[in-house]
Amino acid sequence: MRARNFGKFAITLFLCGLTSVAWGFNKNVHREISEKAVQLYRYLYPQDTVLTDELAKRFIEGSVEEDAITLNVQRLFNWHFYDPGKRLGRTWWGAYRSNTHRFNNLAKDFVTLNSSNVQECYKLAGRLVHHIQDMSSPPHTVPVYHTTKDQFDKLVPGEIARISFSSNQLDNVLQRKGALTITGLNKLLTNAAERTIASINSQVMENGRIVADNWTNFWRKYELVGEKCGEIPKPEFGCYGKMTYWDQKDGFSKSVFEQYHNERIISAISDSLQILILLRENHN
């Protein structure tokens, strides 16, 4: 009887986790963001001998596998939402509702292994960069609770490979400061999230014309929860506004959505590239 009850309890916990997992960019998007970062790294350092094909593979795999649901079920117990105020806490069954706990544990493991096991170090760097990439996704940064894919997260496979970087954009990445310490990694995560929050609060422009004051009709932070929400928000989370991303109305054309989407993807690629550059400095 005890074994049967325990089995039911275990199944309940698993189903709770499975239905509550907070997905950000899908695996293919994470893969393409990381692949693009590797491509740009090789462009910047054509004679580089640090980032071997094997290490690049490890980095990319890590960024994809952080979302995998495996037998150790860590993904079910670690959601990927930004929570600087530590408001989200944990679920009744023990899952961490933000990325803070998981990211710090990965950072500690990474710092420990940084010099002793280079292959595992790049794998962990990929897992860390997965969370940093998620911080370019508005619903994960606001955050707005969601289990199924947010419309913002939907991309056509191969689209990221076509995104081009200007020399100024690459120079901006090269000029960034950072450190692969626990504090430094957390700062990279925070910087990525705060850039996204700033973008949500910025004016929406098209051809020099103001389309809207900001993007809060799509994603509304916790402090803005109220009658302008499109649905009842989950406690302690922000909410979706009454407009849906890619819905072309109220002055929002396809090109406006595409421009904003590309800006956020470029931000995620830039952050990933920065990690690779910092790894190069550590292992050169």
Domain boundaries, the chain: 2-283
> What is residue 70's predicted lDDT score, i.e. its pLDDT?
63
pLDDT of residue 144: 93
Number of neighbours of residue 83 by Cβ within 10 angstroms: 20
Residue that is written with structure tokens 């089995």 in the block? 7
Output the pLDDT for position 256.
92
Q: What is the DSSP letter of 144?
A: B
3-state DSSP call for residue 32?
helix
Contact status, residue 184 vs residue 178, Cβ threshold 8 Å: yes
**Is residue 33 within 8 Å of 265, Cβ to Cβ?**
yes
Report pLDDT for 72. 61
Predicted local distance difference test score (pLDDT) of residue 76: 83
Written as six digits, the tokens of 239 are 């909410």
What is the reported pLDDT for 71?
A: 53
Q: Are the C-beta atoms of residues 22 and 81 closer than 8 Å to each other?
A: yes
* CATH number for the domain formed by residue range(s) 2-283: 1.10.575
Sign (positive or negative) of CA dihedral 122, 128, 132, 133: positive
Mean pLDDT by 10 residues, the chain (284 residues): 45 43 69 96 96 97 86 77 90 90 95 85 96 95 83 74 93 95 97 97 92 94 92 91 88 90 95 97 84
Residue at 49: amino acid letter = T
132-143 residue pLDDT tens: 999 999 999 999
pLDDT confidence of residue 149: 64
Distance CA 159, CA 121 (A): 29
Q: What pTM value is reported for the model?
A: 0.90
